Structure 1
């Protein structure tokens, strides 16, 4: 009888530990790691930025922000475009660059049409 009580106690403790560890790992995989928690008003040079995304502040990400991606694949958090004029100008610069340089078709030998 003493053995079954000890076994039940250990089983219950193991179950609680397993559930606790599982809930911690799922909480860390909710995508919040890619959110900007703060923004910086420091201007970002045009030549280092390749793209951007907008963080609206809904859901897991609590503040609106602009996330600029650099050539070295760093993510820099800037204010929302409506809050800062230089952010809007940098976005316009990126969009203008993508419109000027559309993806090129693969070059190769042209095939004759018969």
Structure 2
């Protein structure tokens, strides 16, 4: 699946523990890749994400980008903005409290 989006939003279901969190991505024409983390096996010496819905975001563009998550529908709960240099990666936690079937989170990246 091509993960490069050119100003188009789409929805992908991300399995998280026994639930499903839907993530809408908006990459504004930037070459951004992302992959889900936070499943029971996802922890390392540096980061313990056991049971935490999170994603790895990779900046494949030649631009410096800013990425952040917002919990939908009201977008009042947000993650801190991550600055990614070209070919840099960051781990972002999915904000909000999720129950079966909702809410959705928006992952947005823009040129810095």
Do they fold alike, i.e. is TM over 0.5? no
**Higher relative contact order, structure no. (Cα contacts within 8 Å, ≥ 6 residues apart):** 2
Which structure features the higher share of helix residues? 1
Which structure features the higher share of strand residues? 2
TM-score (normalised: structure 1): 0.29
